[in-house]
Structure 1
Amino acid sequence: MDRRYPQRPMVGVGALIFRNDSVLLVQRGREPALGKWSLPGGLVEIGESLHDAVRREVWEEVGIRVRVVDLIAALDRVIMDDEGNIEYHYILLDFLCDADTAEQPSPASDAQQSRFVSIGDLSGYRLTRGTEKIIRKAFASLSEHRHSIYNPDL
């Protein structure tokens, strides 16, 4: 299925990976939102669990292995073209993740750059819509003791 002008929504996953007071961001290397900064992630493949998709996408996009902790946000993105047609339609699920190592991210071909960015410096980046709010929500939740939202074993 083509990403542009799809027949149905596509499911994507994103990873919130923190190191101290910084979060991992990637600068998008293709549309939609070419050049904007966002969370590492991508589309779920057929037959793939959400956790497997997050792990695979982070590994492919920035070369870091992660452990998925919990679902932080579920949102939809419908992007219209100039004629009012649906050009892109994504259902996005963002997960809090722990990095398995202290490796530095190395962007793959679909990301222009990747880096850990201080929470205090987020406003200086051209972020995709809603990304800063989700990052701040996830960062605040790190100190909370809460029940898991997503359980892949159910």
Structure 2
Amino acid sequence: MPEATDPDRRLPQIGVGAVVLSAGRVLLIERGKAPAEGTWSLPGGLQELGETVAQAVAREVAEETGLEVEVGPLVEVVDWIERHADGGVGCHFTILDHLARPRDPAALPVAGSDARQARWVDLGALADHALHPVILRVINAALAHPAAATAR
């Protein structure tokens, strides 16, 4: 993602995220750049010009984790807005989070591009990663989606 303080951004940016589920686990990354550097999150990033949302989801997961995924349905839309102390907007991303599953469930993630770390995390161990409440809400929305039964 671009720096949150980029003065040339005056419009919300379109972002994508992936809730990749497999065998009672979810794929998480530790963010390596702003915004939210050093926090655990879902893989994702910005959609590029000429790219469909599904293509963006698959590309971002591959760039950040090395895994190929089958992109499933939209599960949540998140407006991520960070404000400066004076009330001005530091960044605004509209993030389209999709359910996804790995093409190879045995493949291990390897951190790349914007990620410091990438790993499978047991759904029962999410509390160990201090996830932002919005990330937990998105994961729960994905788990509640009818398509999640075939993605777990």
The equivalent residue for 1:123 is 127
Alpha carbon RMSD of aligned pairs, Å? 1.7
The equivalent residue for 2:55 is 52
1:95 paired residue among 91, 98, 104: 98
> Is 1:143–2:129 an aligned residue pair?
no
Q: Is the 8 A contact 2:4 2:35 kept in 1?
A: no
- Residue pairs, 1:4-15, within 5 angstroms: 4=5, 5=7, 6-15=9-18
Residues in 1 aligned to 2:22 and 2:149: alpha-carbon distance in whole angstroms: 14
> Is 1:18–2:47 an aligned residue pair?
no
Which TM-score applies when normalising by structure 2? 0.88
1:114 paired residue among 111, 118, 132: 118
1:137 is displaced (CA, Å) by 2.1
1:20 is displaced (CA, Å) by 1.2
Unaligned runs of 5+ in 1: 145-154
Higher mean displacement: 84-93 or 124-133: 124-133
Q: The residue matched to 1:25 in structure 2 has which SS?
A: strand
Amino acid aligned to 1:135: I
1:52 is displaced (CA, Å) by 0.6
1:143 is displaced (CA, Å) by 3.2
Residues in 2 aligned to 1:49 and 1:143: alpha-carbon distance in whole angstroms: 25
Q: Is the 8 A contact 2:3 2:35 kept in 1?
A: no
Q: Tell me the percent identity.
A: 38
The equivalent residue for 1:80 is 83
Q: Is the 8 A contact 1:33 1:128 kept in 2?
A: no
Which TM-score applies when normalising by structure 1? 0.87
Q: Which is helix-richer, 1 or 2?
A: 2
Amino acid aligned to 1:66: V
Amino acid aligned to 2:137: K
Amino acid aligned to 1:19: S
Distance verdict in 2 for CA 1:117–1:93, change over 3 Å: same
Unaligned runs of 5+ in 2: none
Aligned residues: 144
